[in-house]
Amino acid sequence: MAATNLQKNWKDVSHGSVDLTRVTNVSFDLGGQNQGFAGDNDIFNSVVVNMMNSPTASVTTGDPATLMAIAPGTDATLSATHIDAKGATGGDIIYVLTNAVAQGGQTSGGHAEFGTATMQFMAYAPDGQTNPLSFTRSA
């Protein structure tokens, strides 16, 4: 079956050696910070420059214990696979966020509802140049 080019659900989510299951949401943000410049008689920015980038990620899971056990400050690679909508071979997109530092987690659970936990990660680039977020599609 050819890839649908649509993605549905996540699998193989991990932060270092910690496998995260019952994942209900994963998000990645490139965290670009632009700054505009205007001078003279400009009424719009005449130049916009990407000044800094701070990639982040967020994982929500129905397994609060595992996620909340990741201590803030833990530095590891966050991986997640966005599955092809119809499970086609080669249709998955694999994301990898290197040097993803756990920032903090929140957990909650309402009455008669499943408990959830969400953790945010902030990534850095040891060389100051390479975007920590990489992607590929499955073979």
Residues 6 or more apart from 57 whose CB is under 8 A from it? 26, 27, 28, 29, 78, 97, 100, 120, 121, 123, 133
Residue 129 touching other proteins (CB under 8 A): yes
d(CA 52, CA 34): 7
User: If binding is defined by CB under 8 A, does position 131 make contact with other proteins?
Assistant: yes
- The kind and range of the H/E element at 122 are strand 116-123
Q: Please list every residue from 59 through 118 that binds other proteins, using CB under 8 A.
A: 77, 84, 91, 93-94, 96, 98
Asked if 41 touches other proteins (CB under 8 A), the answer is no
Using the contact rule CB under 8 A, the part of the chain among 40-48, 59-67, 114-122, 130-138 near other proteins is 130-138
Kindly tell me which of 64 and 132 has the beta carbon lying closer to other proteins. 132
